[in-house]
A = this chain, B = another copy of it.
Amino acid sequence: MNEISAKQEKVLAAMAAHVLEHGLTTASLRPLAKAAGTSDRMLIYHFGDKDGVIGALLEYLAAGFVSGLDMAIPEERFATKGALLAAVVTVMRSPIAAGYARVWLDIVAASARGEIAYAQTGGAIIDGFVAWVAARLPEGEQNPDRAARALLTVLEGTMVMDAVGHGDAADAAIAWFSGDGSQ
């Protein structure tokens, strides 16, 4: 359905790099076009309007994120839920993931503001992420879906805490999640 030429792909890649550095919701057409070596005129021509540009960008970024995540953490079952969470948090804290974290929090804030396009994309990303986590949970988990969602919720919390400079709190949550909370 979405036939994109090699040229389009290059444009998207360049814009994605710009967005990963500067944020998504603050991006405007002219800077985006400049980063991609084209003009706002051309972006509108190819994507219809700004929403089209943002939508394509979101799709591109989401795909890049999951492939990067798969690269960093191949599909294999972890010994404990805590180890899996710690591994994902480590990846999310790496410099190359920082841009994705920024964009993700932009999506979340826009969703909370009621922008349904963002909320839908955000929900879809979470759905994919739940499956991704469930496939890496220790074997014998009674309710993998439920466990994956709980783990993801804690992960989201750590991203928020990291964003406001409270990685210490995030660490406390990870440690607590890894133990049973009693220590």
Chain A 106-133, CB-CB to B under 8 Å as 1, else 0, gives: 1111011100000100110110001000
| Min C-beta distance of A54 to chain B, whole Å | 15
What B residues does A155 contact at CB under 8 A? Answer: 157
| Contacting pair B113 A23 (CB below 8 A) | yes
Contact partner of A160 (CB less than 8 A), chosen from B81, B146, B157, is: B157
Contact partner of A173 (CB less than 8 A), chosen from B102, B112, B153, B175, is: B153
20 contacts between A and B (CB under 8 A): A102-B109, A105-B108, A105-B112, A106-B109, A108-B109, A112-B163, A119-B165, A122-B163, A122-B164, A123-B165, A126-B161, A126-B164, A130-B169, A147-B176, A150-B172, A150-B176, A153-B157, A156-B156, A156-B157, A181-B181
With the chains together, A164 CA to B161 CA distance in Å?
Answer: 18
> Does A76 lie at the interface of the complex (its beta carbon under 8 Å from any beta carbon of B)?
no
What B residues does A173 contact at CB under 8 A? Answer: 149-150, 153-154
> Does A166 lie at the interface of the complex (its beta carbon under 8 Å from any beta carbon of B)?
yes
Give the number of times this chain occurs in the complex, counting copies. Answer: 2
Given contacts A81-B181, A106-B113, A108-B160, 9 further A-B contacts (CB under 8 A): A102-B112, A105-B108, A108-B108, A108-B109, A109-B163, A111-B163, A123-B165, A126-B169, A152-B161
| Contacting pair B126 A153 (CB below 8 A) | no
Asked, given contacts A113-B26, A157-B154, whether A123 binds B164 with beta carbons under 8 Å apart, the answer is yes
Q: Which of A81, A166, A170 has the most CB of B within 10 A?
A: A166
| Min C-beta distance of A113 to chain B, whole Å | 5
What B residues does A137 contact at CB under 8 A? Answer: none
